[in-house]
Structures are given as structure tokens and as C-alpha cells.
Amino acid sequence: MPLISKERLIIFTRYPETGTTKTRLIPLLGAEGAAKIQRKMTEHTLSRMMGLTASNDLTIEIRYDGGNEELMKQWLGSEFEYVLQGDGDIGYRMQRAFEDAFKSGAAAVVIIGTDIPDLTAVDITKAFAVLKQKKMVLGPAKDGGYYLIGLQKNAFSPAVGDLFAGIKWGEHDVLKKTLNISKQLGLNYSLLKEMDDVDRPEDIFIWERSQVLGHGDVTPMSISVIIPAINEAHNIAEPSQQQIFDITNGNMATAVFDASGHKGALESGPAYMAHGGRFILVGLSKGELTYHHPSLHAKEMTLMCSRNATKEDFEHVISVLDQFPTDSFVTHSVPFTKMIENFDSWLKPETGVMKATVSFN
């Protein structure tokens, strides 16, 4: 009968099937690109954890979604234990993973995902060291969630299921709510260092940074561009196209986003783009757009129109609006009685207008 390891590291991941994984990254990377980065990040995470089993009484278990056990073994090898995540939200799936691991004899269990490129075996070792003193350990993510959770067996009970109940996963206060619940349950805990996760298009630089810094196979760095719109371009010290040219050594941007809906910005986008790049239109223009077709064709570019925002995305944006420094974007403000006499000047770039507001007092 095989010996039961006292420590178990459970890695949550998804089989990298095109179109079903990392869907929030599809507007930037395409369906195949999103599946590819899911594959790479999982392999990256596993490669960093392999040394743990050689020097510790530890078992690595992979909890997967999508695919099947045979496909997972073909992809990642047969030296790991594979368990299907099963039904329910991520909270219920984590609770079930803890229950199964403790029933099998584990004394301490740590769960991680595969979207934290900077996570190392040293961090996992620290997490298990914490669990020799504390009942729970958490790794805070910079987006307000957590990238790691660990529990002692003697701390786990049916009541601990409350840690995963009533949480709206993906929101900015997941960690805060979890800590509040843990205090109510009497679970003492420690926090590891805060880290970035890769979930949205604006997070992709985190993965690229980890690769460039030597945390895996080095891949070419991608540059994304947000196009200045209307009068905001007037306030940029140098022509922005030249800046992108200099930053990329003439390669230009692999992805260009426009969220303004402004005709001038929309039509200027391809000028920033690298060969084979993507132009993602989030903003909506109600009129016609004109492009020089030979220039687009020569770049073999991809044009994408995206409204890929979920209900959770909108709720997150609304929740942080009061933290956004809107005043720094308001360059002109007048009372309603002065609006007409000032309006024409707001249309002139030389006045430095970014945003103008009218107050009704």
C-alpha cells in the first residue's frame, strides 16, 4: 500500500481547448492564442513545482476541468494524480478538493491556480511552513482575490465550508470577505506576499515580464497600445507613433485597442500596428470608417470587434469608480450659465482640453 504524503499541493487548471479557456483574453490573443497561453502557464507552474516532491513529503494533485484524464496525462505526464474538478462554482470545487485530500490522509493542503507566473516552489514551501503554526494561509492577489489558500486538517470541519459560501468570485473583495469569515470561524491565519494574476487583456504584460526575466522559456515581448482620442493626443509631448516605433525597435505594437469610438482614433489604429498584429475595436463609431486597404493587407493584420464584458466586469468597474482620480482628467469646468460662451473653446486642441464639465448649482 503506498504511503500517504502528509502534505498535498492541489493545482487547479483547465485543459487548453480552443474557445473554452481564458475567454477574457480572446479579444487580445484570439481563441487559439488564449488556449496556448493557458497551456504555457500550466506547464510553467508545474515546472516550478517539480522540485518539491523530491525534497518533501508532498504529493502534487492536478484538479482539471475540460478534457479527460487520458488527455491530461498525454499533456502533463503520468507522474501526477488527476482528479476532475466536478460541478459547482470555484468555491464549491475548492471545498470538495480539501475534503477529499483530508479524507485520504493529508495533514496540510494548499490549493493554487496556474495564472500567477511569479509563484515559485519557495512560496509553496513557505505556505506549508505557515500551516505548521497557523490553521490557514492565504496568498493575496493584487486584484483583491487570492492566488493560494491552505488549511490544516485539524482546522477543517463542515463549518469551514462557510469560507467558500456566499462569495462572488472574481470581484475585488474576495480576500476581504474570506478574512472576515475566517475570523468568525476562529481560524488564525498568515498572509504570503501579494502577487499579480493573469486574467484580463491588461494583465498580459505580467506573463510576458515573467518570461523576459527568465522565469521560463523566453518569448518575444508584445506591446499593446491605447490610442489617444480627440484632443487628448494634443497633450502628448512626442508623436505617439514615433514613441511606439522607438520602444519596439521599429516592430510596432502586436495589439492595438481603441475604446474611444472616435473616428480619428479608430482610423489611425493600423499605423501603430506590427505585421500580423491585432486591432481590437471596443469603442463604437456610428459613422463610416475609411482605411487604406493595401496598407492593411500588407500587414496581414486581424481586425476584431469586441463587446466581451461580463456582468461581473461591469460590477467591478462600478465598484471602483469612486476610487478613480476623475478630477485629474477634468481640465475645464464652468457653471451652466457660462457654458455657451465657453463651448467653442473646448473644441480647440490648443486650449488643452481633455474633459470639460458643466455644474448645475
Predicted local confidence at residue 262, as pLDDT:
78
Parallel, antiparallel or unpaired: strands 146-152 and 108-112:
antiparallel
Question: For the purposes of burial, counting CB atoms within 10 Å of the CB of 53, is it exposed (0-12), middle (13-18) or buried (19 or more)?
Answer: middle
Q: Please identify which residue in the block is written with the cell numbers 484580463.
A: 200
Predicted local confidence at residue 216, as pLDDT:
42
Whether pTM exceeds 0.75: no
Predicted local confidence at residue 226, as pLDDT:
55
Q: Closest Cα to residue 58, out of 129, 141, 119?
A: 129
Q: Return the top range by mean pLDDT from 67-71, 244-248, 279-283, 291-295.
A: 67-71
Predicted local confidence at residue 237, as pLDDT:
42
Residues of the chain within CATH 3.40.50.720 domain(s) are 222-305
Residues of the chain within CATH 3.90.550.10 domain(s) are 7-191
Superfamily of domain 7-191: Spore Coat Polysaccharide Biosynthesis Protein SpsA; Chain A (3.90.550.10)
Hey, what's the cell of 187?
481560524
Predicted local confidence at residue 227, as pLDDT:
53
pLDDT category, 221, cuts 50, 70, 90? very low
Whether the Cβ atoms of residue 22 and residue 39 lie closer than 8 Å to each other: no
Q: At what angle do helices 121-130 and 26-55 cross, to 10 degrees?
A: 60
Predicted local confidence at residue 114, as pLDDT:
95
pLDDT category, 224, cuts 50, 70, 90? low
Distance CA 221, CA 183 (A): 43
Query: Can you state the percent helix, strand and coil of the chain, rounding each to 5?
Result: 45, 20, 35
Distance CA 107, CA 211 (A): 34
CATH topology of domain 222-305: Rossmann fold (3.40.50)
